[in-house]
Amino acid sequence: MTIFLIGFMGVGKTTIGKELGALQQLPVIDMDHFIEAKEGRAIKDIFKEDGENHFRAIETVVLKELMTKEAVITTGGGIVERQENRDLLADVEDVFHLYCSFEVLWERLKEDSERPLVQKNSMDGLLELYNRRLSLYRSVSKIEIDTTFKTIDETISELERNLQLG
């Protein structure tokens, strides 16, 4: 079973993914960490040195590689930026979109120095990115789970219920 968690940065994909992986007895692969290990440098350095397009190309190669793994895979927030990635994800049964209101996300993200897109965008710029990506996440996910005011346990319970229904 391959389970993908997608959504905007800060929605809790990594935290939820770790918990879900433990409960489902599946390894958890964080795509961003996987890319950093493969490239031998931080994502912010890939962005700075080679640009976002280069990073997105690496992301597509890694997505194809991970599609066959039995794992919980947490994606980067921009995985849906490329049509090819959306097409790949649309064919996967268990793609969950973790959603959170922008106001709550902004509070989580505004001080984050590790995320290149937070650093180069104002609140308005990030809101525009959030709004543009929202329909993309929804176009490839089978289930959307609103994490805005849910605890980790509540979110996990909802995920597990939906896995059993699938």
**Is residue 165 assigned to a domain?**
no
| Contacts of residue 119, Cβ cutoff 8 Å, sequence gap at least 6 | 44, 113
- 12 phi and psi angles, rounded to 5 deg: 110, 20
Tens-digit pLDDT profile for residues 116-149: 566 666 778 888 989 999 999 999 998 999 999 9
- Distance, in Å, from the CA atom of 36 to the CA atom of 96, rounded to the nearest integer, reads 23
pLDDT value for 165: 64
Q: Flag whether pLDDT at 115 surpasses 70.
A: no
pLDDT value for 90: 93
Q: What is the CATH number of the domain that holds 72?
A: 3.40.50.300
E strands in the chain = 2-6, 28-30, 71-74, 94-99, 143-146
Partnered with residue 143 across adjacent β-strands are 96
Tens-digit pLDDT profile for residues 32-56: 999 999 999 998 899 889 998 999 9
Enter the pTM of the model: 0.90
Structural domain of 38 = 2-153
**Is residue 166 assigned to a domain?**
no
The answer to whether the beta carbons of residues 72 and 26 sit under 8 Å apart is yes
**Is residue 80 assigned to a domain?**
yes
Q: How many structural domains does the chain have?
A: 1
pLDDT value for 38: 95
